[in-house]
């Protein structure tokens, strides 16, 4: 594909250690656009080989506001159906910059492995020494091994290794949109992580026309987002008032996803004074509340002051906070973390109700966002990111005629 | 003798000891101007008498002290003979300083002709920024650089922008002048007060032509070859098209190996993997500043080099047959680049000096990119596009 | 023209990196930008750096400061937070895309 995507997608066979570059044809993009929709087509194509697909949307990595989204698609061990997990932050954008807009991971590795994608190269790296390590240790170790701190990772912890349906694929250090037990699929495949770093470039068909239109959209989006930030921008999560009040005392800074104006992610510091801006010697001062709904679930289960620290343990073990919250018995941080460590190794964690609880608020624009590669949290807030506008941007940037229906599954 | 077609002009670019990364600008610009006969020489090629097989020699930016150290009197004399016998010498920045006499007691360099410069003084004006890049000691005085970056050059027929990174302000007679420094612009960076800079530069020559024996010198201060300055590139093109043919024999050829099929795929795969890892590492390198000789080597140039080499690999991988000189050696260099960068990262995180590793890195990237460019221009010369060899 | 940086407003979205790269090459990448985001992710220590011809603006969480080329950055913050310079210097373009696409006003064009 000449515009907005890379030339190839990647098909990885963990059983044979082979990686095949497959041309991403224009007619394929014309039919399936990208994101969840194109992922699904790839899933179907390789469904006999037990695939999990990580893919970008048409606008991922581009200047369209909120262009952070990557989507994980596979058959959910929780629901038994095909599901799409939105991955926000930076992993989706990094995937496309590696030179592969989509990666299909087939079959099972003989021994623990991580996949290292960098600039049109796919390496299978032995992860035996990483097996048993938590997600933070793993992210640090891989970044150190490959020599770059901005490597983006999808990684599992103990829960994924133990193939629990309550396992979650973690994004570097932080939980994200996997509510479907995809962490267990990684574990089943002996896949400790997918690590990505790319220096690729993406072309756009009508650069001048695109810039003009995207700036108009950008201005609309910024005004629709308004001044809402932090937990105010995450009202959809229904975080209990007491938890919010406790978190307010720990709040350090707010942050946004890749190329998104919506700073709804909140960093809480509970191991040092949150007003400290300079870097101290404390390497792990707190946690990024990357998933406000998951934070609300944990906040309901433990003491409000302990919610951040307990969320950190959830992330490190690679658990889905929504699935696991009701299993935590202790209210204090230490006790709750001990509970979680047991849960990550026990089938007790398997028994939860498969309530669909997405990471993002529901909106009429969610579906289009999943296909376009736009952060669904932003799309819910910004009316400008509707299917009609996305179709217009898609036509300008690719030279292919798209209509609003293209952004429906 | 008439004008030469660009595709037949045989150009030798000096990339040996002391040449900085700016030679890669010549490669990009010559390629886009459709020069096909582009070759790369180092100090030993010149000492071995290779020069007579080319029409012109390009001495790019770098460090004239180091270039002279590498060439030694033996190599310098080969260049003098080349020009006297009818070859053309194109000097930019360091290549210009190397070729002219601007002091009563000159360094034993090429010293083709006396061309006083206005940016040499025993007591240079005070720098207001970039002090460490501002002056270079030379004998009893200093060569100083009043401005950097974009500025305006011109003559009675034309004017255009070009970037200056240390080139001289030459006080040449009118008959030698091609272009003068006309003005500064809003992107010029002043290293001294603006008035002082104007007095030092404006009205003096930025480009001159000096006949020597049967050949001639084209000497430039600014980098007309910089790929971001297309108008300056066209000026360079006009100059190149006036060069008289001189080469008396075929250009130097090493032992070329023809790689194809699985062997080629495997070789390209290794080079690509190592380069990719090197790019990842270099993009994350922090706050390094390496001093080599009198020149500070900027780390961003490393990534520029790696990126250009990367682009060349991506072009080469479209072919199913490649002529390569010493593929094993290039492979070794690619691995070395990767491992040196990894070492530099670890050392610099620990606050340790990395200049030795940096020097080796620069040498290795130079060798790898030269090898790939050789292959690229070889393909271009042999017109393999139209021969349907493209896969 | 130059760019002023108010790093305390930064939300680390990287829109400026994309915009500057687009200005240079009309492609989407983050690598040809004169601005570079940095992030000590676990510590949540983040900001941006703007490469200039004669040095760099370090937009640290605790404030912005200009570090001239050749001078060492302050070392208290630890080696990995030191400025990264592997980028082309800002060419001081007017009506800069990095400023236009910064959603928080962290980058400001000044004369």
Residues B295 and B210 in one domain: no
CB A192 within 8 A of CB A186: yes
CB contact under 8 A, C70 and B130: yes
pLDDT score at B291: 57
Half-sphere exposure of A117 (CA within 13 A, CB side): 33
- The answer to whether residue A390 is domain-embedded is yes
Distance CA C103, CA A23 (A): 36
The reply to whether A144 falls in a domain is yes
Residue A210 inside a domain? The answer is no
User: What total of structural domains would you count in chain B?
Assistant: 2
For helices B327-349 and B355-381, the axis angle rounded to 10 degrees is 150
Pick out chain A residues at pLDDT < 70. Answer: 348-356
Laid out side by side, the sheet with B135-138 consists of B120-121, B141-144, B135-138
Q: What angle do CA A195, A294, C47 make, to 5 degrees?
A: 55
Per DSSP, A167 falls in state: B
* Per-residue pLDDT, A355: 57
pLDDT (average), residues B81-88: 97
Give the Cα separation of B204 and B168 in Å (integer).
Answer: 9
End-to-end C-alpha distance for chain B, whole angstroms: 40
Verify that B80 and B185 share a domain, yes or no. yes
Residue B217, phi then psi, degrees to nearest 5: -110, 135
Q: How far is B344 from chain C (nearest CA, A)?
A: 13
Verify that A150 and A236 share a domain, yes or no.
no
Is A214 domain-assigned?
no
Chains touching B by CB (3 or more pairs below 8 Å): A, C
Percent share of chain C, pLDDT over 70: 84
Query: For residues A74 and A43, is the Cβ–Cβ distance under 8 A?
Result: yes
Per CB-CB distance under 8 Å, the chain C contacts of A255 are 11-12, 44, 46
In this structure, the answer to whether residues A397 and A325 fall within a common structural domain is: no
Q: Ramachandran region of residue A124, left (φ > 0), alpha (ψ -120 to 50) or beta?
A: beta
Distance from C-alpha of C66 to C-alpha of C59, rounded to nearest angstrom: 9
Chain C residues close to A286, C-beta within 8 Å? 44
- Give me the pLDDT at residue A63, please: 98
- Chain B residues whose beta carbon lies within 8 Å of the beta carbon of residue A119: 272, 275-276, 279-280, 310
pLDDT at C78: 37
DSSP-assigned beta bridge partners for residue B57: B12, B89
Q: Which residues of C46-83 are buried (b: 16+ CB within 10 A; e: fewer)?
A: bbbbbbbbbbbbbbbbeebeebebeeebeeebeebbbb
Residue A271's pLDDT is what?
Answer: 97
Quote the pLDDT of residue C79.
34
Q: Which chains touch C (3 or more CB pairs under 8 A)?
A: A, B
Q: Give pLDDT, residue B356.
A: 83
Nearest CA of chain C to the CA of A4: how many Å? 8
Could you tell me if A154 and A51 lie in one domain? yes
Residue B293: the pLDDT is 53
Residues A259 and A377 in one domain: no
For B182-205, the pLDDT digits (tens) are: 999 988 999 999 999 999 999 999
Question: Which residue in C77, C109, C70 sits closest to C93, CA to CA?
Answer: C109
pLDDT at B237 over 50: yes
pLDDT band at C75, cuts 50/70/90? Answer: very low
Q: Residue B385's pLDDT band (boundaries 50, 70, 90)? A: low
Tens-digit pLDDT profile for residues A254-295:
999 999 999 999 999 999 999 999 988 999 999 999 999 999
The complex's ipTM works out to: 0.95
Nearest of A134, A193, A139, A174 to residue A321 by alpha carbon: A174
Q: Retrieve residue B262's tokens.
A: 């699985």
B-C C-beta contacts closer than 8 Å: 61
Q: Is the same domain home to A344 and A364?
A: no
**Closest residue, chain B, to A121 (C-alpha):** B273
Judge if B179 and B271 occupy the same domain: no
Is B190 among the domain residues?
yes
B319 and B233 in a common domain? no
CB neighbour burial string for A336-363, b if at least 16 within 10 angstroms, e if fewer? bbebbeebbeeeebbebebeeebbbbeb
Report the pLDDT value the prediction gives residue C83, as an integer from 0 to 100: 45
For residue B3, tell me if it sits in a domain.
no
Q: Are residues A74 and A179 in the same domain?
A: yes
Mode of pairing for the β-strands spanning A8-13 and A100-106: parallel
Q: Give me Rg for the CA atoms of chain C.
A: 13
Domain housing A343: 230-350
- Count of domains forming chain A: 2
Co-location of B176 and B134 in the same domain: yes
Three-state secondary structure along B161-223?
A: EEEECCCCCECCCHHHEEEEEEEECCCCEECCCHHHHHHHHCCCEEEEEEEECCEEEEEECCC
**Same domain, yes or no: A43 and A177:** yes
pLDDT of C72 > 60? The answer is no
8 Å CB contact of C88 and B350: no
Are C85 and B299 inside 8 Å of each other by CB?
yes
Strand partners, A121: A118
Q: CA–CA separation, B96 vs B22, rounded Å?
A: 14
- For B245-263, the pLDDT digits (tens) are 999 988 877 889 999 999 9
Query: Shortest CB distance from C44 goes to which of A199, A253, A256?
Result: A253
Contact A121 B272 (CB under 8 A): yes
Task: Establish if A148 touches chain B: CB-CB under 8 angstroms.
Answer: yes
Residues B268 and B232 in one domain: no
Q: Are residues B263 and B288 in the same domain?
A: yes
Of chain A, the end-to-end C-alpha distance in Å amounts to 21
Parent domain of B345:
256-381
Task: Give me C57's structure tokens.
Answer: 């603006």
Would you call A118 and B277 a contact, using CB atoms and an 8 Å cutoff?
yes
User: Closest Cα partner for C5 from C67, C84, C53?
Assistant: C67
Asked if B280's CB is within 8 angstroms of A123's CB, the reply is no
B22 with B55, same domain: the answer is yes
Residue A368: per-residue pLDDT = 97
pLDDT value of residue B3: 45
Question: For position C82, what pLDDT does the model report?
Answer: 40
Residues A159 and A260 grouped into a single domain: no
pLDDT of residue C27: 96
Q: Give dist(CA B105, CA B94) in Å, integer.
A: 18
DSSP assignment letter at A230: G
**Same structural domain for residues A67 and A166?**
yes
Considering the domain architecture, whether residues A172 and A310 belong to the same structural domain is answered as: no
- Residues B121, B174 share a domain: yes
Instruction: Please give the C-alpha separations between residue A103 and each of A187, B72, B272, B347, in angstroms, as whole numbers.
Output: 18, 55, 19, 35
Q: In this predicted structure, what is the pLDDT of residue C68?
A: 73
Cβ–Cβ contacts within 10 Å for residue C84, how many? 21
CATH code of the domain containing B93: 3.40.50.880
What are the tens digits of pLDDT across the range B170-183? 999 999 999 999 99
For position B133, what pLDDT does the model report? 78
Residues pairing with B183 in the sheet: B152
Q: Is residue A218 part of a domain?
A: no
For residues B208 and B365, give the distance between their C-alpha atoms in angstroms, rounded to a whole number: 32
> Are the beta carbons of B280 and B337 closer than 8 angstroms?
no
In a domain, A247, yes or no: yes
- The verdict on B152 and B276 lying in the same domain is no
Q: Reduced to 3 states, what is the DSSP secondary structure of residue A17?
A: coil
What's the gap between Cα A328 and its chain centre? 25
Do B87 and B59 meet the contact criterion of CB atoms below 8 Å apart?
no
Percentage with pLDDT > 90 across chain C? 50
Please name the member of C1, C31, C75 whose beta carbon is closest to the beta carbon of B283: C31
Lowest mean pLDDT among A177-181, A286-290, B162-166, B382-386: B382-386
pLDDT score of B112? 97
Return the exposure string of B37-69: e unless at least 16 CB atoms fall within 10 Å of the residue's CB, then b.
Answer: bbbbbbbebbbeebbebbbbbbbbbbbbbbbbe
How does pLDDT run across C84-110, given as a tens digit for each residue?
456 778 988 889 999 999 999 999 999
- Give residue A226's pLDDT: 95
Residue positions counted in chain C: 111
A256/C26 CB distance under 8 A: no
Pair B37, B137 in one domain: yes
Q: Tokens 């950055």 belong to which residue?
A: C73
Q: Quick one: pLDDT at residue A51?
A: 98
Q: Say if residue B69 is in the same domain as residue B191.
A: yes
Question: In this complex, do C103 and A278 lie within 8 Å of one another by their Cβ atoms?
Answer: no
């Amino acid at each position: 594909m000449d515009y907005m995507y890379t030339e190839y997608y990647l098909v990885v066979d963990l059983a044979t250690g082979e990686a095949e570059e497959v041309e991403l044809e224009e007619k394929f993009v014309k039919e399936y656009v990208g994101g969840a929709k194109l992922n699904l087509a790839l899933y179907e194509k390789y469904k006999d080989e037990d695939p999990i697909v990580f893919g970008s949307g048409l606008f991922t990595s581009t200047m369209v506001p909120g262009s952070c989204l990557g989507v994980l698609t596979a058959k959910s061990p929780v629901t038994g159906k095909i599901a799409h997990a939105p991955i926000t932050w930076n992993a989706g954008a990094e995937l496309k910059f590696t030179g592969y807009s989509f990666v299909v991971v087939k079959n099972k590795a003989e021994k623990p492995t991580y996949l290292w994608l960098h600039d049109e190269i796919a390496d299978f790296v032995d992860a035996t020494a990483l097996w048993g390590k938590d997600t933070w240790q793993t992210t640090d170790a891989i970044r150190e091994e490959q020599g770059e701190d901005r490597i983006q990772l999808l990684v599992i912890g103990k829960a994924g290794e133990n193939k629990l349906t309550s396992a979650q694929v973690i994004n570097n250090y932080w939980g994200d949109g996997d509510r479907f037990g995809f962490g267990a699929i990684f574990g089943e495949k002996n896949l400790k992580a997918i690590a990505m770093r790319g220096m690729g470039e993406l072309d756009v068909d009508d650069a001048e026309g695109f810039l003009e239109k995207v700036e108009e959209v950008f201005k609309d989006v910024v005004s629709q987002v308004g001044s809402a930030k932090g937990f105010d921008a995450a009202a959809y999560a229904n975080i209990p008032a007491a938890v919010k009040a406790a978190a307010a005392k720990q709040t350090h800074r707010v942050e946004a996803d890749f190329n998104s104006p919506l700073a709804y992610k909140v960093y809480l510091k509970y191991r040092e004074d949150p007003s400290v801006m300079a870097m101290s010697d404390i390497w792990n001062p707190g946690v990024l509340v990357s998933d406000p709904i998951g934070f609300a679930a944990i906040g309901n289960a433990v003491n409000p002051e302990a919610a951040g620290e307990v969320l950190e343990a959830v992330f490190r073990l690679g658990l889905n906070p929504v699935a696991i919250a009701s299993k935590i018995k202790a209210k204090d941080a230490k006790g709750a973390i001990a509970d979680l460590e047991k849960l990550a190794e026990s089938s007790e964690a398997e028994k939860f109700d498969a309530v669909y609880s997405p990471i993002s608020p529901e909106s009429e624009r969610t579906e289009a966002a999943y296909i376009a590669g736009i952060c669904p949290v932003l799309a819910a807030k910004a009316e400008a990111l509707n299917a009609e506008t996305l179709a217009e941007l898609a036509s300008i940037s690719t030279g292919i005629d798209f209509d609003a229906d293209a952004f429906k599954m | 003798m008439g004008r030469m077609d660009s595709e037949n002009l045989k150009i030798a670019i000096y990339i040996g000891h002391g040449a900085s990364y700016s030679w890669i600008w010549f490669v990009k610009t010559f390629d886009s101007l459709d020069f096909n006969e582009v070759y790369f020489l180092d100090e030993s090629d010149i000492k071995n008498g290779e020069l007579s097989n080319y029409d012109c020699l390009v001495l790019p930016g770098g460090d004239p002290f180091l270039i002279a150290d590498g060439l030694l009197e033996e190599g310098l004399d080969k260049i003098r003979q080349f020009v006297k016998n009818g070859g053309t010498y194109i000097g930019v920045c360091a290549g210009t300083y190397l070729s002219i006499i601007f002091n009563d007691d000159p360094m034993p360099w090429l010293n083709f002709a006396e061309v006083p410069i206005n940016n040499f003084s025993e007591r240079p004006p005070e720098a207001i920024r970039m002090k460490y890049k501002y002056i270079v000691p030379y004998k009893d005085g200093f060569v100083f650089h009043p401005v950097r970056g974009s500025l305006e050059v011109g003559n009675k027929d034309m004017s255009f922008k070009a970037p200056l990174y240390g080139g001289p302000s030459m006080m040449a007679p009118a008959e030698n002048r091609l272009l003068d420094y006309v003005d500064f612009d809003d992107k010029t960076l002043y290293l001294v007060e603006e008035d002082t800079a104007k007095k030092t530069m404006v009205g003096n020559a930025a480009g001159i032509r000096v006949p020597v024996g049967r050949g001639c010198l084209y000497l430039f201060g600014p980098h007309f070859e910089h790929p971001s300055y297309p108008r300056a590139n066209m000026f360079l093109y006009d100059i190149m098209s006036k060069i008289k043919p001189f080469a008396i024999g075929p250009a130097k050829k090493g032992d070329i190996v023809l790689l194809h099929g699985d062997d080629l795929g495997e070789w390209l795969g290794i080079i690509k993997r190592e380069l990719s890892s090197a790019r990842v590492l270099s993009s994350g390198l922090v706050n390094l500043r390496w001093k080599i000789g009198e020149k500070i080597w900027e780390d961003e140039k490393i990534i520029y080099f790696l990126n250009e080499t990367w682009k060349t690999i991506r072009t080469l991988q479209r072919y199913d047959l490649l002529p390569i000189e010493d593929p094993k050696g290039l492979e070794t260099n690619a691995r070395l680049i990767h491992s040196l960068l990894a070492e530099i990262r670890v050392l610099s995180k620990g606050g340790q000096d990395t200049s030795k590793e940096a020097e080796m890195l620069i040498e290795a990237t130079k060798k790898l990119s030269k090898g790939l460019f050789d292959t690229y221009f070889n393909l271009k010369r042999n017109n393999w596009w139209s021969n349907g060899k493209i896969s | 023209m130059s760019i002023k940086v108010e790093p305390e407003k930064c939300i680390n979205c990287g829109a400026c990196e994309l915009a500057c790269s687009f200005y240079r090459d009309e492609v989407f990448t983050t690598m040809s930008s004169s601005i570079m985001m940095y992030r000590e992710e676990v510590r949540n220590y983040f900001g941006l750096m703007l490469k200039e011809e004669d040095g760099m603006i370090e937009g640290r969480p605790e404030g912005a400061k200009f570090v001239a080329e050749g001078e060492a950055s302050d070392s208290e913050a630890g080696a990995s937070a030191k400025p990264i310079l592997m980028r082309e210097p800002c060419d001081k373009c007017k009506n800069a895309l990095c400023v236009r696409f910064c959603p928080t006003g962290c980058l400001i064009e000044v004369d």
